[in-house]
Chains A and B, each alone.
Chain A
Amino acid sequence: MNLRTGLVIFLVLALATAAVYYYGFVAPEPEAAKVQAPEDKDAPEVLIKGLSMSSWTDGEKVWEMEVERMELPRFGRNTVLYDITDGTIFRDKGPYLGFSAGMAKVDGRNRMEFSGGVVVDSEGKTLMAAESMSWDPATQKVTVPGEAKITADGSTVLAKNLIVDLNDEYIYTTGEIIAQQGDNIRITAGNMKYSVTRREMEIIGPSKIVIDL
């Protein structure tokens, strides 16, 4: 073997060894490149399915609810709850109001914005239905920015811009209301103040009552 032949054999072996090393150890496997999923920027950081939640203050339960799904988003601080059922607000160590909603966003101060068909009930009977509602446990105020339907004592009240003060047990509205008592009495007015405990409605400003005899 002359020098030239030996040099060629050496180069071929060196290239073959380098190729084996590259494809065997350095180059990524074709299957692995295919399996890697693209990053889902909308995916929550934490997802919890099926849970019971409750809140306590000074040893007393304030509220509880069943939640189908809870998401802690990757960005932002609002926790999102889906399919809320069997919600209960407690007062004097007993159930006070029940609630359910399609969705709720909870901010860092535990304020909740409910949406997707909110229903508030009292003693098993629907008290209020609205498309959206916010609840601040600190101030004990419920705000309904859109239209709400309140049902109590055989009366139905359709109202807009409604605030429920759970401390004073008053319902305030600043938009026009239409109240129907049974089939015979209709009241249209604005600026209503309704006492839940006294079952009394006060309207400041113009009002109209129509009674079918």
Chain B
Amino acid sequence: MSRTLIRLMSVAMLAAIVLAAGTVSAAKQVTITATRKLNYQGAKGDAMVEGNVRIEYGSTIINAEKVLFNSDTKTAKVDGGVRIAQDNIVITADKMDADFKNDKVKVSGNVKLELTETLTEMDEAGKPKKDVVVLLTSSMEIDINTNDFKATGGVTITKNKQKVQAGEAAYVDAEKKMTLITGVMIETEDGDTVKSEKAVVYTDKEAFEAEGEKIEINFTV
């Protein structure tokens, strides 16, 4: 066997080891810190943490004053106000139920979502414009793995000076697309309104699409 062949085999084996190591994903962790108190019932798996509670899960940071965490079900519950920050999204709400096994977070009560989006359009300095979409609703479910969310129980969205109201909203982060259904009404900067059964708002564009059999447009001449 030639020396060159041995060298090639060594390189191939090394590459195989590196590739194999790369496929082993790092174990996911939830880290909870608190400053005031921890009450842990090992038999039930319940941990009540109080005082500046911070939960870190991947790129998601959850802040609250009091959190009930269950180590068996890997769930967290907040009743007294919560702030969730993930990438370009910040959510505040009265209550939260998080399921870290399934990457799902449900928030309810005075839910406010702020989504900061970098637009494709440029400003005068030649830099991409930034836009903040504010969504108010009573209940929302977020996939903390994909950043997708679904809001129910009445939704109000403000984007620049446009205002959109609907019964429900569903957002797909990969497409930057928010689909609104049930009693959709879009109000433009000039006070014009568009009523439809369905509308699509693209968070990275200054445009919206109204869909449905009946679209009602009211504008001032």
Chain B contact residues, CB within 8 Å of chain A: 27-43, 47, 49, 69, 71, 74, 100-101
Cβ–Cβ contact B41 & A209, under 8 A: no
Per DSSP, chain B at the interface is: strand
Report which of A181, A184, A202 forms a contact with B38, defined as CB distance below 8 A. A202
Query: CA of A165 to CA of B170 in the docked complex: distance in angstroms?
Result: 57
Contacts of B69 in A (CB 8 A): 209, 211
Query: CA of A159 to CA of B71 in the docked complex: distance in angstroms?
Result: 22
With A199-B41, A200-B41 known, 19 other A-B pairs at CB within 8 A are A153-B42, A153-B43, A154-B42, A181-B71, A198-B41, A199-B42, A200-B42, A202-B38, A203-B39, A205-B35, A208-B31, A208-B32, A210-B30, A210-B31, A210-B32, A211-B69, A211-B100, A212-B28, A213-B29
Contacts of B71 in A (CB 8 A): 181, 184-185, 209, 211
Cβ–Cβ contact B33 & A206, under 8 A: yes
Cβ–Cβ contact B31 & A209, under 8 A: yes
22 contacts between A and B (CB under 8 A): A153-B43, A181-B71, A199-B42, A200-B40, A200-B41, A201-B38, A201-B39, A201-B40, A201-B41, A202-B37, A204-B36, A207-B34, A209-B30, A209-B49, A211-B29, A211-B30, A211-B32, A211-B71, A211-B74, A211-B100, A213-B27, A213-B30
Q: Mark A167-210, 1 if CB is under 8 A from B, else 0.
A: 00000000000010100110101000000001111111111111
Which of A205, A208, A211 is the most central at the interface, judged by chain B CB atoms within 10 Å of its CB?
A211
Cβ–Cβ contact A206 & B29, under 8 A: no
Query: CA of A189 to CA of B71 in the docked complex: distance in angstroms?
Result: 17
For the complex of A and B, the 7 pairs showing the least CB-CB separation, nearest first, are: A207-B38, A203-B38, A209-B32, A213-B28, A201-B40, A211-B30, A153-B42
Contacts of B38 in A (CB 8 A): 187, 189, 201-203, 207, 209
* Distance between A96 CB and nearest chain B CB, rounded to angstroms: 21
Count, chain A residues at interface, CB 8 A: 26
Cβ–Cβ contact B37 & A203, under 8 A: yes
Query: CA of A209 to CA of B30 in the docked complex: distance in angstroms?
Result: 8
Query: CA of A212 to CA of B42 in the docked complex: distance in angstroms?
Result: 16
Query: CA of A205 to CA of B49 in the docked complex: distance in angstroms?
Result: 10
Cβ–Cβ contact B33 & A207, under 8 A: yes
Residue of chain A at shortest CB distance from B101: A213
Residue of chain A at shortest CB distance from B52: A206
Residue of chain B at shortest CB distance from A204: B37
Which of A152, A199, A209, A210 is the most central at the interface, judged by chain B CB atoms within 10 Å of its CB?
A209
Task: Say yes or no for A155: interface residue by CB 8 A criterion.
Answer: yes
Cβ–Cβ contact B27 & A212, under 8 A: yes
Report the tally of A-B residue pairs with Cβ distances under 8 A.
Answer: 81
Residue of chain A at shortest CB distance from B37: A204
Query: CA of A147 to CA of B187 in the docked complex: distance in angstroms?
Result: 68
Contacts of B31 in A (CB 8 A): 208-211
* Known contacts A184-B71, A199-B42, A200-B39; A207/B27 CB under 8 A: no
* Distance between A172 CB and nearest chain B CB, rounded to angstroms: 15
Query: CA of A23 to CA of B31 in the docked complex: distance in angstroms?
Result: 93
Residue of chain B at shortest CB distance from A154: B42
* Distance between B101 CB and nearest chain A CB, rounded to angstroms: 6
Report which of B30, B35, B36, B40 forms a contact with A187, defined as CB distance below 8 A. B40
Contacts of A152 in B (CB 8 A): 42
Contacts of B30 in A (CB 8 A): 209-211, 213
* Known contacts A185-B71, A207-B34, A208-B31; A213/B100 CB under 8 A: yes
Query: CA of A154 to CA of B34 in the docked complex: distance in angstroms?
Result: 24
Cβ–Cβ contact B35 & A206, under 8 A: yes
